[in-house]
Chains A and B, each alone.
Chain A
Amino acid sequence: MIHEHSIRAAALAPELGWVGLALLLPLLSACACALCAALRVKSKAPAIITSLALAGSFVIILTAYFAYTGPVEVPIFQWMSFQWGTQSFQSFTADFALYIDSLTLFWMLFVTGLGTLISIYASEYMESDRGGGYCRFFFGISVFLFSMSALVLGDNLVMLYLGWEGVGLASYLLIGYNYERPSAVAAAKKAFIMNRIGDLGLALGIFMLWANYGTLQYSELFAAMNNGGQSSVDWDLSVIPFLLMLGAFGKSAQIPLFTWLPDAMEGPTPVSALIHAATMVTAGVYLIARLYPFFELHPEALATVAWIGGSTALVAATIGMAQYDIKRVFAYSTISQLGYMFLGLGVGTSFGACYHTLTHAFFKALLFLTAGAIMHGFAGQLDLRKLSGLRQLPGWRIVSWTMFVGCLWLAAFPYTAAFFSKDAILLQALTSERGDFRFLGWLGLFTAALTAYYTFRVWFRVCAGPLHYEGGSEGHHETPAGHETPVASHGTVASSVQPAPASHSAREGHSVFHPHAPRLAINGVLVILAIGALLVGVPAYDHVFAHRENWAQSMIAGSSAYQGAGIEDAHAGHDAHQATILGMDAHTGLTVVGSTASIGGIVIAWFFHLRNRKAADQLRAALMRRYWIGWLPICMENKWYVDEVFHVFFRLPMWVGGQILSFGDRHFLDGVLVDGLAKIPLGLGRLFRPLYGGALQGYAVTMAGGIALVIAWVTWIWVRGFN
């Protein structure tokens, strides 16, 4: 196991400038999509261009991976740099340059790979929108890939910030893709603003780093760390990781900034898969992994990360258990799995966190894409109570079984890739010397059981059991114009009972709903992703069975993310050999306990959602009847009222403040002070006129009336806000 005590210095390698093409290609394809929109292209050209460009970046990153020898810096062009002196702290350098080390390549490989696959998938998924919407969609995807690449490849924190906000923009544009739907617009806005809260933390963290180290380039920051991490001033360095983690929590949807992610499911499903499951939301993990040395300096910062991660995992899982919308279940599972990654970072195994990011990227993209295929085929139907037994339906077998693979992985079924990656995290937590980390480890195990339950709740409901289904009420938001199966357009649910294809009895003049099965692009991508999900387990099998080093571990170990100088000796395997779990050797113990949790969850899901589906409703009713536990399902179903808390404690006071200030600005500052001053000469002349007092009274009445109106208005907004 490679274990270095200092980060390898990066060499300057201008000759590797071609890696910059990985950034340039998505940018060019974004321009091409914009051009297509301007030229009113109605073909699939935007999809083809984007897929080719992304495939090109993937190939470039792959080439760079094979050519990789050590960390390098590749200057591209000077961006935001200037100087006012010759000494340190007298220049500000933020150039367009690449920092390539194994962590970068690790991340870029799955980002560009999944980006390519999902854009191919989307070429079929979005085909009913060909024209302006199609161009806009692929423009967004291209902008996203450009920004994500800038975020990961950038050699300084300002470039990271560029990518950070850029992915936020892409997310905004794509969540709001169906811009005529108010809920989509609201979700897009919410995502951007909640991310901005985190971004402020990140920006302040960046300033703090500059103020302490006088540089924002990774190579120089790491060099400063290697020299003992001391800076020339006594500013409180421990604030840095806390500010940075605020940014990470915003982007990666952790407590308390997680509520935007479920709402982000308003976007088209390929977007949910790519941005809101596989890649963008892992940017927070990347940020902490990239600057891991700064976190390791402050054990309390890492402990905070662990606690936030662990509790987010649990809370999101409890909400996920109570949702009926398939995409929302998966969205909460994403938040929950991201929580595991932060838990891993916090307890000191950046390898576990990064490996889990990789496995998660594959199986979660797969799950979302299967959900998308269902949504696409069933006219927007995503309610898991209204779909059943799809695996018996012709044309849906690939979807059902690839979804099964995804669910097994998400449930961390023994000896799947996710099982190993999750184990790496839990093992580190459970064998920690800190009691609270061990507690978080057990919490993580409990959450794993919940995860297995809610995951298979979906699969047993949707893909297993007797065949029956209902089409969605809306013609699948990207309404197919020339669709072969027109759906009743004005909100009537066209329903169909088993056996579906046979019953053609038109009810009330509406045609019977026919699901239309996915074709090659969707099925092909699903199969490739399922294979990919299998393959990402290979490094772990290699490690467990062949006792070779885990590929992911070697990638992380060679980068800044894995220094081992942290809270305790961060050798995942090292401590584990002495520690025990339930009296067994830690590895064996965790395998047993983890498998039990996973299989137990699946069995419970099987009982309630396949064997005896009524029992689930009975259980819920039984819980609700008991006052001491009745709040639990209510809270879970209502997302623990986090949105409402935000509303009452932040939005509402600010809105009221805005109204008061707006009124005050117009009537007091301008009306009384400014106009009043201007009226002094006038007023002197009229001083003795009795009417003057009357005017004042009139003014007071106006003001009182205004205040009353504001109060009424506020009350109205308050009431409206809860609906």
Chain B
Amino acid sequence: MLMIWISILFPVLAACVVALGSAKSARLTALVGTSVSLAALAIFAWNFPAWNTAEHFPSVSGPAWIPAAGITLSVGFDTVSLLLALLTAFLMPLCILGSFTAITQRSKEYYGWFLLLGSSIILAFAARDAILFYIGYEFTLVPMTLIIAIYGGTERRVAALKMFLYTFLGSMFMLASLLYVAWELRITSGAWNFDIDSLIDASVRLPAANQYWLFAALMVGFAVKVPLFPLHTWLPLAHDQAPTAGSVILASAMLKLGTYGNYRFALPMAPAGGAELMTVVAVLAIIAILYGSLICWVQTDAKKLVAYSSVAHLGLCMLGLFALNPMGAEGAVFYMVNHGLSTGALFFCIGMFYERYHTKDTDVLGGLAKRMPIWACFMVLFTLASIGLPGLNGFIGEFLCLGGAFTAEHDGQSGYPGVLGPWYAIVAGLGLIFSAMYLLILLGKLVWGPLREPHDGATHHPHVSGVPSLSPDLCFREIAILTPIAIACIWLGIQPKPMLDAIAPCAARMLTHYPQEVRRHLEHTSAPELTTTTSVNDHERATNE
């Protein structure tokens, strides 16, 4: 508890110090601030009692904040949110390290905002109060918008504005839904209460029609953040324009707020709505996979390619989540962490050659293995992780997501009936081929092949003009950034079991109401063959559990 608050508030404190201190000390202060945050969270995780038991939240009811409205300062973790918060805290110091040479002007503000960004993301993951969650969730936009708008590329203002307005509009839907549920809760219990578990308990008792709209509204809010096709268009632009560290945090941590929101709010709050709309979301997810992949294929801008690959990858993650069975949910959560690691690392890699050549265009630049062998090793490793090579982290999530979708069939012998099934998995599985295609094309152009370097002064950005000259290949600092991520990728690929075990009870908890709701949905819609004995047996089995 204390450790959670330290991990959230220490960066804020550091931000204050940065604001008061000199520009030179800013980056060190920021490094210390984020490192302490990571250390505090690591200590918390080390002592976390509920890694793989069914006990989830250390039932925390924090101090009241606005008693009249029932808003409290309660924070706490289940293993899923803890993993995501750890991911964020893990990447923050690396991002600070990665900004040392990239950010040379107005660096005080930069580090200050970055510290606040990290805090607010961790706060959103840790919040046990819906309003607290909303504050963390929304506040991330402020520093991110400024980071893009001040330190970004040539179209940075447009990109920042678009990102802000787009996601802000989305989260209005989310806030409205949460307030609606709290209102319903107040009607039954007589007092305002924003505790997430209480809200969930209240909302699952709502009529199916209300749940339907509740789910749709929550989904719109989170889908923008995921981003789910067709609400994704802010993302490539934002990534393209953001500075490297901004892209890393955006892809690795902020997008996870969208999938996490689905996991924490949309799915458990409105199971009846989720059961009705799961096909819609799954179809959108599959479109995202194919659409994102095909667009990736023709990108010549390395950073945009990775940005669109996020659309495709998170489509797969959403597909796993909406398979609504343990395998898929497990895979989806695993995939969130994986994507954070491998895509974040890819953005780092891209930023590293961008700092040297000031271009991301793969038509001008290529064959860097000759010039930057160490960088090439990392780039290949993270690309393979992103492709989903078994033995690296990407595979576990990808395989389970697809498997979950594949086995989400009517009969539900796993105890969890579904409405997706083989065809969904087959079409989504094309993404496996496509991801290999576009990422290997990227590798083929950027890493392999004859060396191609742009002529001097190709692109000139004002804020990188004063960069101290970098060594041709990665320097020690840059290796220090990528090595921890590489170790994490390999380790999770070889030893996923502890994490899978940790996720399992949370996934089961999220899916508590789904077997019944999906079964009801199936009986309502059609399929007289489902009213056979197997279905009844399954039902009995589910109720016995």
Contacts and interface: CB of A to CB of B under 8 A. Distances in A.
Interface of A: 78-85, 87-90, 92, 132, 158, 161-162, 165-166, 169, 172, 176, 179-180, 182, 185-186, 188-189, 192-193, 196-197, 199-200, 203-204, 206-208, 210-211, 214, 232-233, 235, 654-655, 657-659, 661-662, 665, 669-670, 673-674, 678
Contacts of B399: 80, 158, 161, 203
Interface in B406-427: 406-407, 409, 411, 413-415, 422, 425-426
Interface stretch (B177-185, B294-302, B347-355): B294-302
Interface in B10-55: none
A83 B406 contact: no
Contacts of A207: 402-403, 406-407, 422, 425
A32 to B, nearest CB: 16
Given A162-B391, A208-B422, A210-B403, A657 B294 contact: yes
Contact of A85 (B230, B330, B384, B415): B415
A662 B422 CA distance: 29
Contacts of B508: 84
28 contacts: A78-B497, A79-B495, A79-B496, A80-B400, A82-B330, A82-B501, A85-B414, A87-B415, A87-B541, A89-B415, A158-B390, A165-B395, A166-B389, A179-B447, A180-B367, A189-B443, A189-B444, A192-B440, A200-B429, A207-B402, A207-B407, A233-B411, A655-B298, A658-B294, A661-B294, A669-B230, A674-B233, A674-B234
Interface SS of chain A: helix, strand, loop or mixed?
helix
B207 interface: no
A90 B538 CA distance: 13
A606 B236 CA distance: 64
Contacts of A200: 429-430, 432-433
Given A166-B391, A232-B413, A665-B233, 20 more contacts: A79-B494, A79-B495, A79-B497, A80-B497, A87-B541, A165-B389, A186-B444, A188-B444, A189-B444, A192-B436, A197-B433, A200-B433, A204-B429, A207-B402, A207-B422, A211-B406, A235-B409, A658-B296, A665-B291, A674-B233
Interface string B461-484: 000000000000000000000000
B233 A84 contact: no
Given A197-B433, A211-B407, A669-B230, A204 B295 contact: no
Interface string B221-238: 000000000100110110
B545 A85 contact: yes
A214 B403 contact: no
Nearest to A84: B326
B426 A204 contact: yes
A184 to B, nearest CB: 8
Nearest to A162: B390
Nearest to A165: B390
- Pick from A210, A659, A662 the residue with the most CB of B within 10 Å: A662
- Pick from B437, B447, B503 the residue with the most CB of A within 10 Å: B437
Given A132-B373, A185-B449, A89 B413 contact: yes
B346 interface: no
A670 B311 CA distance: 15
A193 B433 contact: yes
A82 B495 CA distance: 12
A662 B504 CA distance: 38
A189 B384 CA distance: 13
B343 to A, nearest CB: 19
B369 interface: yes
B448 A204 contact: no
A193 B436 contact: yes
Contacts of A85: 414-415, 545
Nearest to A168: B389
B451 A180 contact: yes
Nearest to A92: B327
Interface string B376-397: 0000000010000111000110
Nearest to B426: A204
B166 A90 contact: no
B133 to A, nearest CB: 26
A647 to B, nearest CB: 14
B335 to A, nearest CB: 14
A603 B106 CA distance: 82
Interface string B435-463: 01100110110011111000000000000
Nearest to A239: B422
Contacts of A196: 432-433, 436-437
A87 B542 CA distance: 12
- Pick from A82, A204, A232 the residue with the most CB of B within 10 Å: A82
Given A162-B391, A179-B448, A185-B449, A214 B500 contact: no
A280 B448 CA distance: 24
Contacts of A180: 367, 370, 448-451
A386 to B, nearest CB: 27
B444 A185 contact: yes
A674 B384 contact: no
Interface string B486-501: 0000000011110011
A195 to B, nearest CB: 9
Give the 4 A-B residue pairs with the shortest CB-CB distance, closest first: A670-B233, A162-B390, A84-B326, A658-B298
B243 to A, nearest CB: 22
A210 B499 CA distance: 22
B281 interface: no
Contacts of A172: 440
A204 B422 CA distance: 8
A88 B297 CA distance: 42
Given A80-B500, A82-B497, A182-B449, A662 B436 contact: no
Contacts of B233: 665, 669-670, 674
A199 B437 CA distance: 13
B530 interface: no
A174 B294 CA distance: 28
- Pick from A81, A88, A176 the residue with the most CB of B within 10 Å: A176
Interface string B198-215: 000000000000000000
Given A82-B330, A189-B441, A204-B422, A90 B432 contact: no
Nearest to A132: B373
B165 interface: yes
B117 interface: no
B406 A204 contact: yes
- Pick from A84, A233, A658 the residue with the most CB of B within 10 Å: A84
Nearest to B158: A675
Contacts of A186: 444
A82 B433 contact: no
Nearest to B503: A82
Nearest to A660: B294
Contacts of B367: 179-180
A208 B433 CA distance: 19
A200 B330 CA distance: 21
A208 B429 CA distance: 13
B433 A654 contact: no
B89 interface: no
A395 to B, nearest CB: 35
B257 interface: no
B95 interface: no
B502 to A, nearest CB: 10
B507 interface: yes
A11 B389 CA distance: 31
A200 B429 CA distance: 7
Contacts of A654: 294, 297
Contacts of B389: 165-166, 169
Contacts of B406: 204, 207-208, 211
A658 B297 contact: yes
Contact of A81 (B402, B430, B500): B500
Contacts of A661: 291, 294-295
A678 B162 CA distance: 9
B384 A169 contact: yes
A90 B425 CA distance: 20
Contact of B432 (A199, A208, A655): A199
